[in-house]
Chain A
Amino acid sequence: AQKITQTQPGMFVQEKEAVTLDCTYDTSDPSYGLFWYKQPSSGEMIFLIYQGSYDQQNATEGRYSLNFQKARKSANLVISASQLGDSAMYFCAMRAPNAGGTSYGKLTFGQGTILTVHP
Chain B
Amino acid sequence: NAGVTQTPKFRILKIGQSMTLQCTQDMNHNYMYWYRQDPGMGLKLIYYSVGAGITDKGEVPNGYNVSRSTTEDFPLRLELAAPSQTSVYFCASSYDRGAEKLFFGSGTQLSVL
Residues on A close to B: CB < 8 A? 4, 33, 35, 37, 43-45, 47, 50, 52, 91, 93, 102-112
Say whether A106 contacts B42, CB under 8 Å: no
Say whether A105 contacts B42, CB under 8 Å: no
B66 shortest CB reach to chain A, Å: 14
Say whether A105 contacts B44, CB under 8 Å: no
With a cutoff of 8 Å between Cβ atoms, the chain A residues found around residue B41 in the complex are: 111-112
Say whether A102 contacts B43, CB under 8 Å: no
Which of A50, A105, A107 lies at the interface centre, i.e. has the most chain B CB atoms within 10 A of its CB?
Answer: A105
Say whether A105 contacts B104, CB under 8 Å: no
Number of A-B contacts (CB under 8 A): 63
Say whether B43 contacts A105, CB under 8 Å: no
Q: Scan residues 70-113 of chain B and give those whose CB is less than 8 A from a CB of chain A.
A: 88, 90, 92, 94, 96-104, 106-107, 109
Say whether A43 contacts B88, CB under 8 Å: yes
> C-beta contact mask, B29-45 vs A, less than 8 Å → 1, else 0?
00101000000111111
Residues on B close to A: CB < 8 A? 31, 33, 40-45, 48, 50, 56, 58, 88, 90, 92, 94, 96-104, 106-107, 109
Say whether B97 contacts A112, CB under 8 Å: no
Say whether A105 contacts B100, CB under 8 Å: no
B82 shortest CB reach to chain A, Å: 23
Say whether A105 contacts B88, CB under 8 Å: no
Q: A47-B102, A50-B101, A91-B42 are in contact. List 4 more A-B contacts (CB 8 A).
A: A47-B103, A93-B43, A105-B48, A112-B42
In the complex where A44-B104, A111-B41, A111-B42 touch, is A106 in contact with B98 (Cβ < 8 A)? Answer: no
Say whether B104 contacts A106, CB under 8 Å: no
In the bound assembly, the distance between CA atoms of A93 and B43 in angstroms comes to: 9
With a cutoff of 8 Å between Cβ atoms, the chain A residues found around residue B90 in the complex are: 45
**Closest residue of B by beta carbon distance from A107:** B102
